[in-house]
């Protein structure tokens, strides 16, 4: 199944970043996209291109960290035949390929100093010179660059050219990490879950249990949206009954009962606590299931019902307060209450 890239979210932090990119898109100016891994920097680059007057031109992507330092310049600017060992024929660089369109440079901070020098000239004068050539070539390219590094600090450390940063930073779009996107985790989990259900040819989308959704909301997501997508899709495809809500999730696919005990274990990180400080956790209480389980499905349903009943009572049967305490959207809570015939007990 072909993956369709979409920007999904409703939090103010996320919408502000998308709005900033949308406003900058029609302008023929460079844009820097800053964000942690997995936050959707390439999706923003695509939006900048498709909402610009260059939408009918090429969108060329280059990951600056994916090539050895001695090949980056040849990849960006091209080379003439015989210009170096192995250059058997003339090759157009990414700038020439992107002529009339947009060049997206991912992992910008990894560019070598010589490549930064040549990039500066290309941005300033609209000219590139192939390696081994004597004459420059004019190109009409808009630069969109992305990184998860703090470029001003790299300038202070003499690892990035200050004049290049000045020319690339007409607009800077900073993407929020998933842990700062309040309310977006249920929306994204539902989006990715439904896509996976379609891929598996499930007749209906059963959704998630309240307990599983609370786990998703409490997790710090160091890999952001990309990690969430993998976790959700893995949970859906491992579910054995497409008619029952997804109830089990594994955040770390490398967990194994046969792991080498001599290897150091990763430092434990509390659920809901990220590297840059503690994050708010859903207000959940633990409901102890019965130890005598003769019917797995009935036991899961009884546990979920008990969790809902306790949360309702603790929040004085206010549905919106209960949904917030369980880490659910209002509609998700209403669906769960209806499934367990508890809608008449809540206000």
175, two tokens? 């993407």
The pLDDT of residue 82 is above 80: no
**Sequence-ordered list of residues with C-beta below 8 angstroms from that of 159, at least 6 positions apart, any chain:** 109
Instruction: Give residue 286's pLDDT band: very low, low, confident or very high (50, 70, 90).
Output: very low
Rounded CA separation 248/56 (Å): 44
pLDDT of the residue at 259:
64
The pLDDT of residue 23 is above 70: yes
Name which CATH class applies to 12-83+90-176: alpha beta
Helix, coil or strand: residue 65 = coil
Which residue in this structure is represented by tokens 């005990």?
A: 261
Q: Which of 178, 172, 207, 157 is nearest to 333 (CA)?
A: 207
114, two tokens? 């010589």
Contact at 8 Å (CB) between 69 and 207?
A: no
Instruction: Give residue 3's pLDDT band: very low, low, confident or very high (50, 70, 90).
Output: very low
Q: How far is CA 316 from CA 214, 235, 312, 329, 340, in A?
A: 20, 33, 6, 18, 18
The pLDDT of residue 90 is above 90: no
The pLDDT of residue 268 is above 60: no
Percent of the chain predicted with pLDDT > 90: 57
For the chain, which residues make up each domain, given as ranges?
A: 12-83+90-176, 183-254, 300-347
The pLDDT of residue 283 is above 50: no
DSSP assignment of 155-183, as one string? HHTTSS-HHHHHHH-SEEEEPPPGGGSTT
Higher pLDDT, residue 328 or 16: 16
Of the listed ranges 192-201, 242-251, 293-302, the one predicted with least confidence: 293-302
Rounded CA separation 36/274 (Å): 13
Architecture of domain 183-254 in CATH?
Orthogonal Bundle (1.10)
- What is the number of other CB atoms lying within 10 angstroms of the CB of residue 191? 17
Higher pLDDT, residue 267 or 51: 51
Which residue in this structure is represented by tokens 């985790």?
A: 185
How far is CA 59 from its chain centroid? 20
Rounded CA separation 227/212 (Å): 16
Rounded CA separation 20/171 (Å): 9
* Mean pLDDT computed over 137-154: 95
To the question of pTM greater than 0.85 for the whole model, the response is no
């Amino acid at each position: 199944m072909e993956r369709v890239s979409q920007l999904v979210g409703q939090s103010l932090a996320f919408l502000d970043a998308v709005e900033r990119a949308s406003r900058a898109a029609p302008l023929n100016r460079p844009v820097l996209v800053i964000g942690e891994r997995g936050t959707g920097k390439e999706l923003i680059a695509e939006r900048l291109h498709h909402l610009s007057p260059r939408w009918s031109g090429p969108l060329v992507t280059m990951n600056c960290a994916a090539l050895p330092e001695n090949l980056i310049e040849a990849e960006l600017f091209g080379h003439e035949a015989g210009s170096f060992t192995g250059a058997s024929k003339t090759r157009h660089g990414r700038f020439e390929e992107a002529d009339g369109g947009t060049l997206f440079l991912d992992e910008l901070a990894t560019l070598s100093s010589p490549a930064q020098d040549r990039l500066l000239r290309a941005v300033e004068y609209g000219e590139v010179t192939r390696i081994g050539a004597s004459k420059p070539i004019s190109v009409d390219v808009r630069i969109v660059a992305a990184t998860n590094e703090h470029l001003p600090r790299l300038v202070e450390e003499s690892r990035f050219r200050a004049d290049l940063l000045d020319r690339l930073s007409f607009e800077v779009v900073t993407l929020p990490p998933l842990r700062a996107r309040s309310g977006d985790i249920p929306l994204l989990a539902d989006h990715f879950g439904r896509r996976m259900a379609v891929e598996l040819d499930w007749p209906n989308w059963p959704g998630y249990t309240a307990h599983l959704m609370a786990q998703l909301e409490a997790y710090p997501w160091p890999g952001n949206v990309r990690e969430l997508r993998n976790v959700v899709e893995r949970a859906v495809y491992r579910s054995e009954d497409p008619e029952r809500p997804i109830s089990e999730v594994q955040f770390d696919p490398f967990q194994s009962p046969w792991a080498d005990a001599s290897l150091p274990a990763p430092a434990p990180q509390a659920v809901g606590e990220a590297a840059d400080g503690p994050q708010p956790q859903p207000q959940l209480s633990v409901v102890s299931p019965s130890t005598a389980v003769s019917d797995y499905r009935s036991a899961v349903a009884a546990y979920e019902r008990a969790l809902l009943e306790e949360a309702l009572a603790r929040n004085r049967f206010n549905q919106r307060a209960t949904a917030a305490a369980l880490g659910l959207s209002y509609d998700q809570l209403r669906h769960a209450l209806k499934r367990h015939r508890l809608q008449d007990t809540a206000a």
